[in-house]
Chains A and B, each alone.
Chain A
Amino acid sequence: MTVALAVPDILVARAQAGDEAALEALYRAFETPVYNLARRMLRNAEDAEDVLQETFLEVVKSIRTYRGEGHLWGWVRKIAATKALMRIRREQLRAAEPLDDEPVGRPGMHVGANIDLERAFEQLSDTSRSVVWLHDVEGYTHEEISELMGKSVSFSKSQLARAHARLRRTLGEGEGATT
């Protein structure tokens, strides 16, 4: 899902002044893109809802610091992506797992079966899914992703390559050229 939401400057100014109607208008404009981003990055729908809420609590608190650099959506999206990645990191720490690149298969799901892209995408690890979504769909560069994740650029690149190799295998695509 790509978003090209232009928000009028006057709406932003009113929101910065604390105007509730303006804040609600921003919430309504961005709630689906924010939730969609979080849901694509996170496995759990409730976690994505929490990220949606946390993102807008941050927007309410910090919108006065937004100085109009780039689109407002880019600013909001960065907050949402950061919140989602923090949640992934917390979950990984709780599970005492490293930033993984292993797939999370579902019981009874056969890798290699001709399943649809959405389900194949869900099978990727949180980290891989986040990198694929941020890079391929949201248009983040590897440099930006590495900054968000606190990792190196090569980490982001290798996650993307592994994720695509896995998607390709899961979907049974191609003619076997790649290794």
Chain B
Amino acid sequence: MMHCTMDDLLALRAGEASVWARRHAEDCAVCRAELEVLYQRVAQLKALPPLHPPRDRWSIVRGAARTERNRRRRTWGGWGLAAAAALAGALLVPRLGGPGTLHAELSMAKNQSATLEDQLQSYDVDGRVLTGRMAAKLAELEDRIAVIDGDLARRGTLKPQAQDAELVQLWKQRVDLMRQLVNVRVGTARYVGL
């Protein structure tokens, strides 16, 4: 007697079996038993205990995360400088009312942010932080800047005109945080005698 192949059994399990396989399985106790064994095997596979990683790799991933965060921050800083230069041209044309003022404020904030980024580069002493308090403060400031950068990135896909006022606020917040970051970095550099 011809029985179901494994292909047939898998097709039966998936509800895609041929008419012959479906009819045969209804009548054949051997094939029904095979199908049941297949179901049980899959259930046992699903029930296998999870295997845990023997070592913690978070420290390596964290290092990469910090590098990525610094790269993004620098990219934003560079972008800010370029955008400021582009906007400066637009500001040569006098505008009436709010939009002109907003553009000027936005331009100024981006310019300040870019300048602070440059300053930060000269004090960037990664790996030389000597106190836990300084390290915690730096991490906190960098996290807050990263959140703002993420927000700015998302708003980049929206219509700029509708977002100008909020953008100015975000860039001002960024400048404030960058200023604090530079101050902490300057303090760190002095501490290590640079």
A interface, CB within 8 angstroms of B: 1-2, 13-14, 16-21, 23-24, 27-28, 31-33, 35-36, 39-40, 45, 48-49, 52-53, 56-57, 60-61, 64, 117-118, 121, 132-133, 136-137, 157-158, 160-162, 164-165, 167-168, 171, 173-179
Q: Is the CB of A160 within 8 A of B41?
A: no
A178-B64 contact, Cβ under 8 Å, with A20-B143, A161-B6: no
Q: Is the CB of B68 within 8 A of A61?
A: yes
Cα distance A73–B37 in the bound complex, in angstroms? 30
A60-B65 contact, Cβ under 8 Å, with A161-B7, A177-B30: yes
Q: Is the CB of B45 within 8 A of A132?
A: yes
Q: Is the CB of B150 within 8 A of A16?
A: yes
Number of interface residues of B (CB under 8 A): 46
Q: Is the CB of A160 within 8 A of B50?
A: no
- CB-based nearest B residue for A179: B5
Most buried by A among B51, B64, B66, B153: B51
A35-B51 contact, Cβ under 8 Å, with A17-B151, A175-B33: yes
DSSP class of A's interface residues: helix, strand, loop or mixed? helix
**Minimum-distance CB pairs A-B, first 5:** A17-B150, A18-B146, A177-B3, A35-B53, A18-B69
Given A1-B46, A39-B51, A164-B38, output 9 extra A-B contacts at Cβ < 8 Å: A17-B147, A18-B65, A18-B68, A24-B58, A27-B61, A48-B51, A178-B6, A178-B9, A178-B34
Cα distance A27–B64 in the bound complex, in angstroms? 13
18 A-B interface contacts by CB (under 8 A): A17-B147, A18-B147, A20-B66, A35-B51, A35-B52, A36-B52, A49-B57, A53-B60, A57-B60, A121-B45, A121-B48, A136-B42, A161-B5, A162-B6, A167-B41, A175-B30, A176-B30, A178-B3
